[in-house]
Amino acid sequence: MNSHIFQNNHAMWAILFVFSIFPIFSSILDLPFWNDVLMRIMLLGIAAMGLNLILGFGGMVSFGHAAFLGIGAYCAGISQFFGLDNGWLQLAITIFICGSLGLIIGFLALRTTGIYFIMITLAFAQMIYFFFVSLEKFGGDDGLIIDRSDFIIIDLYEPLRLYYLILATLIFTSILLTMIVHSRFGVILRAIKSNESRVEAMGITTLRFKIIAYVISAIVCGIAGCLFASWQEFVSPDIMHWTRSGELMIIIILGGLTYIAGPLVGAVVFLLLEEILPELLHFFAPSIAENWMVIFGPMLVAVVIFGKGGIMGLLSNYFDRGRNV
Amino acid sequence: MCEIVLEISDITKKFGALVATDSVSLEVKKGEIHALIGPNGAGKTTLVSQIFGDLSPDSGSILLNSRDITKLSVAERSNGGIGRSFQISNVITDFTVLENAIVAEISKSRTGLKFFSPAFQDRGLIAAANKTLGKTNIEHLAQRKVADIGHGERRLLELALALSSDPTLVLLDEPMAGAGPAETKFMTKAISKLREKTSVLLIEHDMDVVFQLADRISVLVEGKIVASGLPDQISQNKRVQEAYLGSTL
């Protein structure tokens, strides 16, 4: 009965499939560096998908979600600082802390809407950012060098273990979010995005639904951050700089914010271009290679203007599927 | 028979110096269609917003089925038995007609906190939603996107949504606005049938419709009720005629 909600999601399955077989090619071609790039894509893809639950499906433009990414990373970092290097426990701590913090921030911030909501979420994120900058004990601005977490049965120092742990998390997140978006809860959330006053008039306390969605999205971002720490083997406030929140939003809009696979597609395109574009320019036009963003920026603008609904919107127009989600 | 569903006592609402609702009292009896009329800017929508909970009165009280609802939120009042159609068509435009009714059904059954099984494929929900659409005979529109249906059809959908929770009182804020003659005729019929199931507070500009439908009429002028009574009494009332100077009653 549930299978059809996954069927109309070719882009997501295609990307997950490519991710799962990519290490074979990278080992044949001896390009281990690209495994690293893909892990980064997957991690930010998870975070963007989490953010998109409230942004694309709930209409809540949170400009501070990198904070949860950072908190997840520090949950791993600080746990390890105190000698707790069990990755499962670190994940549990992350879920608890990001969930509680999401509840508090959501409870306060969701009383506002529109531009005020954007500003208040940014303000909370900045508070959290400077809180960690000021924590001298944990490296402050310079951050904290850490080991990869110990996931007991999975030794992350063995080749590809971290890669497949991240991939498994990505697959789990994708399936979970697909189910949530199509569930009764998800339907109400999307209805709130479209017309909150009507939903309220039907007898639904919309604030409650918005807070729950906010908490879920905070937890997903936190999990991405917790794994991010192991990938980077380093945690610093940099991970939750406000520009990262912006980056997550660009990824979502680029990919298509009304599609579950949108943020994932966006992460692939955005982060691959970030890697490839400077190289290409080095080759063809070395004089401007350093300023590759001059090319990158207009490309993003073009996709947003011409492809209403981002890359997924363009794709679904092309294949004439028309239908969202 | 004379059971009172809605009892408004002495409510006042001020916006700065403007008294939008000036100690208004009003009763809606069970099974009656009570029309609220008045010239533009008389404060009809302000009054309805207070009954529904978008605005709260500065003083006075509102009782629904003898229960004080003055302090309750919009959602709580809706669950308490008030259905509403808005002055400006207010439906979920990103959804299809059926999906709109499904949202209403999820709300009615209070199952919004189910996170896993897909809602739009749920047979029980679809059946119940179709039944809701049947209340205004728009089942044939079920698969259409709301953005693509006509204005009058949206009004019918809105009425269906207002009725979905089997409310004890329905507030209809200009249900005919923007509807064509045929739709008006159909809506009039649909509303007149509501007497059997619920009570109606109807706000409407079209006097033909009001006099066809209303069991009782209250006239609001500059925030005050100037007359209240049977349609015949109202049409003969001097003060009402003054308020509607130029328009024939």
Of B89 and A95, which is predicted with more confidence? A95
Nearest to A183 among B54, B91, B115 (CB): B115
Q: How many angstroms separate the Cα of A218 from the Cα of each of A77, A266, B246? A: 18, 19, 61
Q: What is the pLDDT of residue A323?
A: 52
Which of the four pLDDT bands, split at 50, 70 and 90, describes residue A225? very high
Cβ-based contacts of A202 with chain B (< 8 Å): 78, 103-104, 107-108, 161, 164-165
Does B95 contact A191 at a Cβ distance shorter than 8 Å? yes
End-to-end CA distance of chain B: 29
Does B84 contact A182 at a Cβ distance shorter than 8 Å? no
Cβ-based contacts of B125 with chain A (< 8 Å): 184
User: What is the ipTM, given to two decimal places?
Assistant: 0.86
> Helix (H, G, I), strand (E, B), or coil: what is residue B143?
coil
Average pLDDT for residues A164-173, to the nearest whole number?
A: 96
CA distance A39 to B208: 69
pLDDT one-digit tens code per residue, A255-275: 999 999 999 999 999 999 999
Residue in chain A closest to B113 (alpha carbons) equals: A185
Residue partners of A239: CB distance under 8 A and separation at least 6: A66, A69, A70, A73, A225, A228, A232
Q: Is B190 on the interface with A (CB under 8 A)?
A: no
- The domain spans of chain A are 4-240
Helices and strands in chain B: count of H runs, count of E runs: 9, 10
Cβ-based contacts of B122 with chain A (< 8 Å): 184
- CATH number for B4-243 (one of 3.30.70.270, 3.30.300.180, 3.30.300.130, 3.40.50.300): it is 3.40.50.300
Triad B77, B78, B82: Cα angle to 5°: 90
pLDDT one-digit tens code per residue, A236-251: 999 999 999 999 999 9
Q: What is the pLDDT of residue A66?
A: 96
Is residue B205 scored above 60 in pLDDT?
A: yes
Cβ-based contacts of A201 with chain B (< 8 Å): 52, 74, 78, 84, 86, 90
Nearest to A198 among B92, B106, B114 (CB): B92
Q: What is the pLDDT of residue B77?
A: 93
Task: Quote the minimal CA–CA distance from B118 to chain A in Å.
Answer: 4
